[in-house]
Amino acid sequence: MLTSVDRLLFVRGVPIFKELRDDFLVRLASVMDELSFPKGHTIFTEGQEGRSLYIVVSGLVRVHLGDRDLAQLSQGACFGEMSLFDAEPRSASVTTIETCECLMLTQQQLYDAIDETPGIAVNIIRLLSRRTRELNQKLNMQEAKLQEIRQRESR
């Protein structure tokens, strides 16, 4: 269990909250729920409705589609943010690799925060853009490798 000071210090270091004022972060950090998950626990499943964002306080989680891993996330990383904005089902599953402590921010808490401090929306947009770019780069690399293999096979 984090003390209120530890919680503030931790939230201040999370990329989507970095540029926000301390007085705002104190209020935001105080409304987040702190959750504990055992090793091997599925936090949410692809296709499930989602209305919350999670931040890893400690431990390690895997983001996956079935058996295919997409990412591993550790302290300070957030996940689940897409469904907060588009009201679509979860695009992947998240399962703990180790025992994990997470903070959870609900959609309503986030919307209230954005009303008060619009800068948080810009930070989340940056995060989503960065993740989209990373996925595009991975897809482009895979496509280039596939074309290379096809060219070798056609010789």
Beta-ladder partners of 55: 78, 103
**CATH number reported for the structural domain that contains residue 44 in this entry:** 2.60.120.10
Q: Domain span at residue 37?
A: 4-121
Domain annotation covers residue 154: no
Q: What pLDDT does 95 receive?
A: 98
Q: What pLDDT does 114 receive?
A: 81
| Count of helix runs (H) and strand runs (E) in the chain | 5, 8
Domain annotation covers residue 127: no
Q: What pLDDT does 14 receive?
A: 86
Q: What pLDDT does 21 receive?
A: 76
| Cβ(18)–Cβ(12) below 8 Å | yes
pTM score > 0.85 for this model?
no
Q: What pLDDT does 60 receive?
A: 98
Q: What pLDDT does 123 receive?
A: 76
pLDDT under 70: residue ranges of the chain: 19
* Residue of 38, 29, 86, 90 lying closest to 64 (CA atoms): 90
Q: What pLDDT does 134 receive?
A: 86
Number of domains observed in the structure of the chain: 1
Q: What pLDDT does 55 receive?
A: 94
Domain annotation covers residue 129: no
Q: What pLDDT does 92 receive?
A: 94
